[in-house]
Structure 1
Amino acid sequence: MPQLTALTPLGELTLSEEDGAIVALDWGRGRDQTATPLLQRAIAALHAYFDGAAEPFADLPLNPAGTAFQRRVWTAMRAIPRGRTRSYGELARDLRSSARAVGAACGANPIPVIIPCHRVTGARGLGGYSGGDGAATKRYLLGLEQA
């Protein structure tokens, strides 16, 4: 599976591609570095995001592996505009589910930052974040977006 690593304000982030779509974003340097056109485009979109671009990921083909429910949650997260947040409970109401199930889907997101799980917060605070340095990374991303 082709991978390419970018140096970002969050450190090294590695994108993975499979069958013409982005399937993962991981913290740290990937073992194999292959600069495919899609991965190069995705890296450019990451840099644009950190430079303040509103929606640099809109045209990237994504294919995160997950259950049908997880995919529904991830689609709902992608609809949250930059600089805005929604609570786990709000998404749960929209999806006719529970806040806990939405939180679990957020935590299983294989393409964080691009699928913006950091924009989903708890009813009384920040909530968790499974990427990078956890809550500190979530605070950084929300601050970057001025949410």
Structure 2
Amino acid sequence: MTFSVEWVDTAEGLQESQIINLPFADIKIDRRGDVIVSADWVLSADPVAKKHADVTMTSVWLECWQQADKSTSLKLLKQGTCYQFKVWQELLKIPFGHTMTYKALALQIGSGARAIGNACKKNPYPLIIPCHRIVAAHGLGGYSGETQGDLVAIKRKLLAAEAMFKYVT
């Protein structure tokens, strides 16, 4: 699954949140109108969060995400520095089921691997902007600023799931 992103400068309306249950973790999506303004992993087993999960959106996301050859259009609120935005744009080009090292992406855009990692850490749209597809030269690397724990476990599960669905047409 790839996301075709339209970046917008503003988002109008009341902010609404929904939690989508995915096999590897739950993700909370915040929207204003048809614009996604943030996304974040729900790490707790909070029964209130689970209670408000949107079952319809869960099935839609799972169906779309598992179709590696499909693209879904989303509007995202443009955020971050110019450099972060540049990195996030490059991350969107990494195909479903593939990875790239921090160093390779750094060389591609004339930067440093650590700066790539910092931009990934600040990603306001995990899963949508696939920073999980960036790995260390010799191993998994970190995820969302962590080098161990729940978020790294999510990265591992995402990469495994993408590998499994990579060839489904």
Question: Highest CA radius of gyration, 1 or 2?
Answer: 2
2:119 match: 105
Q: Would you identify which runs of 4 or more consecutive aligned residues in structure 1 move more than 3 Å?
A: 55-58
**Alpha-carbon displacement from aligned partner over 1:30-75 (angstroms, at most 9, x marks no partner):** 9xx7x8xxxx77x55522245x211655411122421111111111
Aligned ranges for residues 34-113 of structure 1 at < 5 Å? 45-50=60-65, 52-54=66-68, 58-113=72-127
1:140 CA displacement: 0.6
Number of residue pairs matched by the alignment: 138
2:62 corresponds to which letter in structure 1? H
Q: Aligned residue for 1:142?
A: 159
Please name the residue that 2:138 is paired with: 124
Give the Cα separation in 2 of the matches to 1:15 and 1:48.
17
Percent of residue pairs identical: 37
Aligned to 2:26: 12
Q: Which runs of 5+ in 2 are unaligned?
A: 1-14, 43-48
Aligned counterparts of 2:88 and 2:60: Cα–Cα separation in 1: 19
Aligned residue in 1 for 2:11? none
| CA distance 1:126–1:49, shift in 2 (3 Å) | farther
Q: Partner amino acid for 1:134? A: L
Structure 2 CA distance for partners of 1:49 and 1:107, relative to 1, 3 Å: farther
TM-score by length of 2: 0.71
Partner amino acid for 1:145?
A: E
- Alignment correspondent of 1:133: 150
Choose between structure 1 and 2: higher strand proportion: 2
Query: TM-score, normalization: structure 1?
Result: 0.81
Segments of 5+ residues of structure 1 without an aligned counterpart are none
